[in-house]
A and B are shown apart, each in its own frame.
Chain A
Amino acid sequence: MAPQTLYEKIWNSHIVREVPGQPSLIYIDRHLIHEGTSPQAFAGLKAAGRKVRRPDLTFAVMDHSVSTKNRLLPVLDADARGQFEALERNCKETGVRLFDMHSRNQGIVHIIGPELGITQPGQTIVCGDSHTSTHGAVGALAFGIGTSEIEHVLATQCLSQAKSKTGLIRFNGKRPKGVTSKDFILTLIGKIGIAGGTGYVFEYAGDAVGALSLEARMTMCNMTIEGGARAGMMAPDETTFKYLEGKPFVPRGKEFQEAVEGWKALASDPGAKYDLVVDIDATKLAPQVTWGTNPGMVTDVTSRVPDPNSFSDPVDKQAAERALVYMDLKAGTPITDIAVDRVFIGSCTNSRIEDLRAAAHVIEGKHVSKHVKQALAVPGSRVVKVQAEKEGLDKIFLDAGFEWRDAGCSMCIGMNDDVLPSGERSASTSNRNFEGRQGKGSRTHLVSPMMAAAAAIEGHFVDIRKWDVNGAE
């Protein structure tokens, strides 16, 4: 048999029906849902008199609109309350397991999936959320779907899909201190553009990726969709197995050893062919900061806001001009001169325990700049929150002038009351800097947790490599 990629192996083992010239019917192992995109799917299902085929493979959580303050208070936003109630009702009626906003295991869907071991290597995983790509870090094929497809998966546990092209993205060499996996993925998106991965599934490899923790790998897979590819993945390795062992939904003992043997066979075969190969020298990477209104508008922290005239393509030039107006930035401004109003450490990109440890290390013994109006630390899950509190990180954040919140999507999308006000500028560890993303008129700069933490202390962006970050990673 011809050598196969990780993607092809997972794809082939999930084909339910294959007819030449048509999309294939592929089986879905894990269906994750949240309150924001599921109500219309359940309503459609009900209207058609259809049932949820595999409630036992479906998991629901409340994350997008939940309050990160006191959750015991009534939900005042009637629309949000309506969605919470709908999710609870739909789960009760269909037997779908639900982590509601009061569950000790509640958190952002893409944080709790791996954290509980619900998502495992070799699986197909979908969710009505584009950042489902996160779960690919365990060696799974995971991607976001629309509400019609949610309904389709609920009814059939399958999806009709055309096969994607494959891209191999290698980060080679040793990563410099202060440079994180967030900087890897932002560099890649800056290089290929936000549509560079359209039609592709990316597999990340290279020694710099192999050296990353599983949590750090999730950050890369998470933002894969920002480069246009629906899914990102890494071959499962010892790091993966060690991460998964003992998680609540992962088999134990002999059963685990057997599973590991199966997972080991998932890695791409030597000589497997890809439609695209990109090599990036990790030794040369610098901390990244976005300056524009999409994640591809990004540069090194030592650089300056680019001059739109420096873009040879008139379309890029026009987009840059528009972005600078929206962001209220002047071409040529050093990135480190950009002052921030608020800092957000959180989101499905960077709110895991390692992210919080890194940020806490940077701010320990220091205080948030008086020019910064608000600095938020929002754990990705309640399990992360409890762990952080056990380690005393909450105290470090609070002593430094950060707010320490409950778990949820929070200011990444601003569907609850954690909103970046119009005209204000954030250093944010989230994934999207689109116009209005964090609030109407808001201006977002995407950075790593260490970079966001340092910006909170100084009130503007700083090159974290100049700080002592030993022990921050």
Chain B
Amino acid sequence: MQPFIKHTGLVAPMDRVNVDTDQMVPKQFLKLQTREGFGRTLFYDWRYLPGEALNPEFPLNFPRYKGASVLLARANFGCGSSREHAPWAILDYGFRSIIAPSYADIFYNNCFKNGILPVTLSDAQVDDLFRRVENQESYRLTVDLENQVITDESGLRIPFEIDPFRRNSLLKGLDDIGLTLEHEPDISAYEKLNPKSAPMYEAVDVKIAAPQT
């Protein structure tokens, strides 16, 4: 996973509450087998008119937000389905950080697994940022995870809170699985104390034979 230390980029607004992951990647794109290439599908039904022509009324399609890499969003961003295709699409589109007042749990967690930093600010702070984005063309923000602060070129400075463990993993781009495997002796010890199995007491129509353990 690519680390996130500090990122400066153009800000694009997504001024809707409760944006669900079905909107980020509609179902027809859930049949692919890659993690890449989902940028094209991001906000598909909002972003495109029939025939995949760009919808000129959708903010991400405004020329002024072309190349944006910081997404400013509203409350409960990423609710609904657990599909990790949503953060894959956000990343592949070019966003490295999201700023919102709140996120749905599964989506929030999925962001960290993909090197995306979701920053949580108060409603008032987010409102203020929406005004700044609207009023100023090419509005850019620097999201500094190391110092836990968001800044702009006019001297704005907004500190933010983040779980220290998540912060550290993101700063270093750590491989979660690798980290857990370092605790393999703990896992084995747990299994020895708490033997787990799933025996079948009555035959069911299962395709693969149960492995021997």
Contact = CB atoms under 8 A, between A and B. Distances in A.
A57 B84 contact: no
A83 B183 contact: no
A230 B109 CA distance: 12
B176 interface: yes
Contacts of A37: 30, 82-84
A40 B183 CA distance: 24
Contacts of B20: 294, 432, 434
Interface string B182-213: 01001100110010111111111111111101
Interface string A211-229: 0000000000000011010
A150 to B, nearest CB: 9
Contact of B18 (A17, A53, A97, A195): A195
Given A145-B106, A415-B30, A250 B201 contact: yes
Chain B facing A: main interface SS: loop
Specify which of B23, B177, B201 lies most central, judged by the most chain A CB atoms within 10 Å of its CB: B177
Contact of A440 (B26, B74, B210): B26
Interface stretch (A25-33, A233-241, A391-399, A461-469): A25-33
B82 to A, nearest CB: 4
Given A96-B208, A149-B113, A40 B34 contact: yes
Interface string A420-459: 0000000000001011110011000000000000000000
A385 B121 CA distance: 49
Nearest to B76: A195
Contact of B33 (A82, A155, A413): A82
Contact of A149 (B109, B187, B206): B109
Contact of A436 (B26, B34, B199, B205): B26
Contacts of B209: 95, 97
Given A152-B180, A158-B180, A315-B75, A118 B198 contact: yes
Contacts of A436: 22-23, 26, 45
B35 interface: yes
A160 interface: yes
A147 interface: yes
B186 A25 contact: yes
A172 interface: no
A252 B201 contact: yes
Given A145-B106, A248-B201, A434-B22, A88 B207 contact: yes
A93 to B, nearest CB: 10
A144 B106 contact: yes
Interface string A291-315: 0001000000000000000000001
B82 A98 contact: no
Nearest to A432: B80
B114 interface: yes
A415 B27 contact: yes
Contacts of B208: 91-92, 95-98
B204 A105 contact: yes
Interface in B89-119: 102-106, 109-110, 113-114
A54 interface: yes
Interface string A6-46: 00000001001100011101010110000011011001100
Given A16-B190, A57-B198, A194-B79, A77 B180 contact: no
Given A22-B165, A65-B31, A100-B207, A27 B187 contact: yes
A100 B206 CA distance: 8
Contacts of A249: 198-201
Given A130-B106, A146-B106, A437 B22 contact: yes
A49 B66 CA distance: 39
B52 interface: no
B125 interface: no
A152 B75 CA distance: 29
A50 B177 contact: yes
Interface string B156-171: 0000000111000000
A284 interface: no
A230 B107 CA distance: 11
A198 interface: yes
B53 interface: no
A283 interface: no
Given A149-B109, A436-B23, A27 B194 contact: yes
Given A195-B18, A195-B104, A103 B30 contact: no
Interface string B20-61: 101100111011111100000000010000000000000000
Nearest to B206: A97
Interface string A86-115: 101001100111111001110000000000
12 contacts: A40-B33, A56-B211, A57-B198, A97-B209, A104-B204, A146-B87, A160-B176, A195-B18, A251-B199, A319-B18, A436-B22, A437-B22
Interface of B: 16-18, 20, 22-23, 26-28, 30-35, 45, 74-76, 79-84, 87, 102-106, 109-110, 113-114, 163-165, 176-177, 179-181, 183, 186-187, 190-191, 194, 196-211, 213
